[in-house]
Amino acid sequence: MEDDYGNDSTTVDTAKAERSVWLMKCPPVVSKAWQSSSAAAEAPPVAKVVVSLDPLRAEDPSALQFTMEMAGSEVVQMPKSYSLNMFKDFVPMCVFSESNQGRVAMEGKVEHKFDMKPHHANIEEYRKMCRERTNKSMVKTRQIQVINNDRGVHMRPMPGMMGLITSNNKDKKKAAPVKGSDVKRTRRDRGELEDIMFKLFERQPNWALKQLVQETDQPAQFLKEILNELCVYNKRGTNQGTYELKPEYKKSVEDTGAE
């Protein structure tokens, strides 16, 4: 036990615990650009923050504006100017780091939280880049491999597979029938479904959920929403596990039947 507590991996370096740090949420393209820059032997500055303050409205929080200018990027179409929206109302957080040797250190407390978004002057350029990225992700890449072997080695059944191959169609597995629960049902109009439910409860006072799903051909979750508004669920008694109309709806159904 003493050896475990004496291990450096169980201690946290708090020398920088009182240092103020900023937490920023940035677009993925910016994050990737910064990660590639940090991997270089001599990491250059990746960006600079420009702080603007209106001296005539110094007491107004909106008078303080933050803008980030990218120092340079390999991505040509990436916007170079970004707006930083600052938030002060957030859960207190601290930043920790871990070295390759497993040593944990506290790097500081989060003083400001920012959301980073492209500046209004570059918003159209950013949208174009996002559309191109989406279109590229939707393209299916197919590969064709040419087999330079005219003896058909790759096409021959492997040892032990001969028993699995048969030319008799009767031995082929039949497609499993689709279960009723797996069928995708389309929701009806809410008012129309309520009318159907009232008619069903005129026929009999108690219904199980499974029965109502079969009668209405509606999704079970959607039916539960309607039942919770119109009905009472019997948890015990002779009608356990069934729904019946609430008293106020029961009266209206009886009046309609009498008419």
What confidence tens digit (pLDDT) does each residue in 36-54 have?
776 666 767 788 888 888 8
Residue with the bigger pLDDT between 236 and 155: it is 236
Whether pLDDT at 182 is above 70: no
Structure confidence at residue 249 (pLDDT) = 77
Of the candidates 195, 257, 188, 204, the one whose C-alpha atom is nearest the C-alpha of residue 230 is 195
Q: If you average pLDDT over every residue of the chain, what do you get? A: 76
d(CA 201, CA 211): 12
Of the two residues 236 and 258, the one the predictor is more confident about is 236
Residue 151 has pLDDT above 80, yes or no: no
Q: What's the pLDDT tens digit per position in 89-115?
A: 778 888 898 888 888 999 999 888 888
CB 245 within 8 A of CB 233: no
Residue 15 or residue 152, greater confidence:
15
This prediction has a pTM of 0.39
pLDDT reading at 3 higher than 70: no
Choices 3.40.50.410, 3.20.20.140, 1.10.10.10, 3.40.50.2300: CATH for 190-249: 1.10.10.10
- Average pLDDT of 244-254? 75
- Distance between CA atoms of 51 and 239, rounded to whole angstroms? 70
Given pLDDT bands bounded at 50, 70 and 90, which one contains residue 237?
confident
| Range of weakest confidence among 59-68, 88-97, 156-165 | 156-165
- Domain residue ranges in the chain: 12-54+62-138, 190-249
Residue 76 scores a pLDDT above 70: no
